[in-house]
Structure 1
Amino acid sequence: MSTAANSFLAIELDGDGAHPAAWRKARHTPAELLDGARVRATVLAAESAGFHVATFADGSLTPASSGQGGRDIPGRLNALQRAAFAGPVTSSIVLVPEVDTVYTEPFHISTQLASLDYVSGGRAGWLVAASDQAADAAAVGRSLVGADGLGREAGDSIEVSRRLWDSWEDDAVIRDVATGRYIDVDKLHYVDFEGTVDFESGSGYSVKGPSIIPRPLQGQLPVLAPAGLLGGNQPGGDRPSTGAADAVLVSAPTPGLLACEIAEARAAAAAPAIIAELDVVLDARGQNAAGRLAELDAHTPWQSRRARFAGTAAELTELLASILETADGVRIHPAVLDVDLEELAQLVLPALRRRGLLAPQQPGSTFRDLLGLQRPSSRYAAAHN
């Protein structure tokens, strides 16, 4: 159950907003989406507004003309790179890039995320994705993983990353000038991970380890995953290890159904934290939300599996207050960042804070602190000692 001490708000900062035609209402040229200045401006605006977490979507973009709900501008910077760029210019907001677990080498995932934890001062997380796109498989010369294998692949990738993060004990770096030793090799450990065999191709993978960089500042980065991706509900799939995700993202067709989905996730003990997903269109600039949405949809219809809110800032405040009674956090997907983020910053977040519904922003704290998670010891250190 959520409390005022740990309730938080996250915001998705991909592109110009969640609506595929958001760029038409942006306050910059389309080319600036591929510029670091845009990344800096949006993440600092989100931090200044009082958001606790910023997420960064990733993956290939499907052109809107295909009718598959893609975007008008098919281009984005890599999510991990955007998050790493934002690390040194921010002080309190948590940075959580989306990273694919199916067609990305798990060793590279673990080391890049550990590096992000260092450049952000312990404010990093991992939003797990599992691509089902043939183009992503072809890009790395691999056969397409079927729907029944996505959860298995994701679970394996999380597990090997967690082992690699533990492969350096916290005090492995000794910097002994007298002896010329930088590390104590006895405090580095092999992870000896064997991936689940892909029954379609007969192939699997193994990771020996150890990692090539020291243990992350948080010990283990918090892992976020969409509800239903991990677990034993994939036909023929093995259930990933208990505790594979530290938070699950819950979606529903409408705001009214979110409470039911949150309750189901809580009852299933899917993860320590439950985060609700919500698309948002607000009254802004003298135009009501319904009119804004209709104008955007006239260019490109917005297709989304998330619940959608369209209305006033006061109405959104009430809805968020209701959701936070049962969820630990809400991830907001603004229709147009340059418009809706401004309304959220000026009207919604201040109202929620006045009501004592949000955790305070605390520079110097970690993502694990925000989620109320203890910093874990290395599994290999315990065995070694």
Structure 2
Amino acid sequence: MTLLLALELGDADEETARAAEAAGFALVTLGDSPGGPGIEAGVRAAHLARRTSRIGLAPTLHVTTTEPFHLATQLASLDHASLGRAAWVVGADNTPAALATVGGVPLSDDELRREIADVITVARQLWDSWEDDAVIREVATGRFLDADRVHHVNFTGARFTVTGPLITPRPPQGHPVVLGADTLGVTELLDIALIAATDLDELVERTARARAHGVPLVFADLDFAVFESWRDRLDGVVDGVRLNAAGPTTQPPPGGSTLREALGLPRPANQFAGAR
């Protein structure tokens, strides 16, 4: 089995992203810190959307400091701009400095876990709030969309409510790919669990636990040197590896016209279709 590869760009530039694309990486992730220096990860991903052609783009957006509706809209827009290559690394910075940027205070562990789950859940509902065939563009009648195929989500979470619908049509992938650390406590809501383990036995154990929670894919989160030493033993353990620095590795690029196709993930069915 050929391992899927991802690269954490941090503040790296367009040249690094294009080099990763040429080397056969499936996606790049873009780190971010609320209130930190530099350009926000979602904006950087949008910049790369038209400067790359195949590689997936996964900005880190923090559920603790980003309004859920705006978060879902930003990711849907990125998926449209990149023609189906958007993903989301679920961030959950809960430090006093991060929360101070939005006038908040840190959450308890239980509150944080609920907030993460609520934001992922409502984002998926908002991406489904437009059915795939909602945009009809009927010249004869002057109708751009079929209003019966656009839905309110009416979501009530622990700390917010969202009525919806989204202000953009459904993303090309249905849902952008959702990645997050297995330590967030919401593994069952992810498409890819990221596991940063200190030894191979720990990686095997945590991977088995993540798969038991139903996550479709598991990526190890490794330094390049560790990846090189473990490479031959990762086959059959994880589906891919996210590297925090590039190294001299290339492989055939994964196929498919969208990131979901490249990763072998199905396009989600719309949960509101047929509800009218």
What TM-score does the superposition give when structure 2 sets the normalisation length? 0.93
Identity, % of aligned positions: 42
1:372 Cα offset (Å): 1.7
Matched residues in 2 for 1:137 and 1:379: separation?
33
Q: Deviations over 1:219-266 (max 9, x none)?
A: 1111111002134xxxxxxxxxx8411111111123563233323323
- Per the TM alignment, residue 126 of structure 1 is displaced from its structure 2 partner at its CA by 0.7
Please tell me whether the aligned partners of residues 193 and 218 of structure 2 are also in contact (alpha carbons under 8 angstroms). Answer: yes
Among 107, 110, 134, the alignment partner of 1:172 is: 134
Measure how far apart 1:90 and its partner are.
0.9
Residue 319 in 1 paired to residue 230 in 2? yes
Cα displacement (A) at 1:12: 0.5
What is the aligned partner in structure 2 of residue 85 from structure 1?
47
The 2-side partners of 1:220 and 1:253 are apart by 32
Q: Which residue of 2 aligns with 1:247?
A: 192
1:58 pairs with 2:32? yes
Match of residue 169, structure 2, among 206, 210, 214? 214
Question: What are the ranges of 5 or more consecutive residues in structure 2 without an aligned counterpart?
Answer: none
Match of 2:21 among 35, 47, 63: 47
After TM superposition, list the pairs within 5 Å mapping 1:257-268 onto structure 2: 257-266=202-211, 268=212
Correspondence 1:275 to 2:219: yes
In structure 1, the partner of 2:153 is 191
Tell me which structure has the larger Cα radius of gyration: 1
Please state how far the C-alpha of 1:317 moved relative to its aligned partner.
4.1
Say which of 359, 366, 369 aligns to 2:258.
366
Letter of the structure 1 residue corresponding to residue 191 of structure 2: D
CA distance in 2, matches of 1:139, 1:318: 41
Looking at structure 2, the residues matched to 99 and 122 of structure 1 have their Cα atoms a distance apart, in angstroms, of 18
| 8 Å Cα contact 1:259-1:323 kept in structure 2 | no
Q: What is the RMSD of the two structures over their aligned residues, measured on CA atoms?
A: 2.0
After superposition, residues 1-385 of structure 1 pair within 5 angstroms as 3-4=1-2, 7-15=3-11, 39-60=13-34, 75-196=37-158, 204-231=159-186, 243-255=188-200, 257-266=202-211, 268-281=212-225, 309=226, 316-317=227-228, 319-334=230-245, 341=246, 344-345=247-248, 348-349=249-250, 353=251, 360-362=253-255, 365-384=257-276
Aligned partner of residue 132 in structure 2, secondary structure: coil
Residue 145 (structure 1) shift: 1.4
Cα offset for 1:80?
0.6
Give ranges in structure 1 of 5+ residues lacking alignment: 17-38, 62-73, 197-203, 232-241, 282-308, 310-315, 335-340, 354-358
Q: Structure 2 vs 1, CA of residues 14 and 382 (structure 1 numbering), >3 Å: closer, same or farther?
A: same
Equivalent position SS for 2:275 = helix
What per-residue deviation string (whole Å, max 9, x for no partner) do you get for residues 180-237 of structure 1?
11111111101010012xxxxxxx2211111101000001111111002134xxxxxx
CA shift at 1:382, angstroms?
Answer: 2.7
Letter in 2 for 1:10: A
Contact 1:130 1:151 in 2 (8 A): no
Task: Write the distance in 1 (CA, Å) between the matches of 2:209 and 2:153.
Answer: 35
TM-score normalized by the length of structure 1? 0.68
- Cα contact 2:18–2:52 (8 A) shared by 1: yes
In the alignment, what sits opposite 1:300?
A: none
SS at match of 2:29: strand
Distance in 2, matches of 1:377 and 1:148, equals: 30
Q: Secondary structure at the match of 1:144?
A: coil
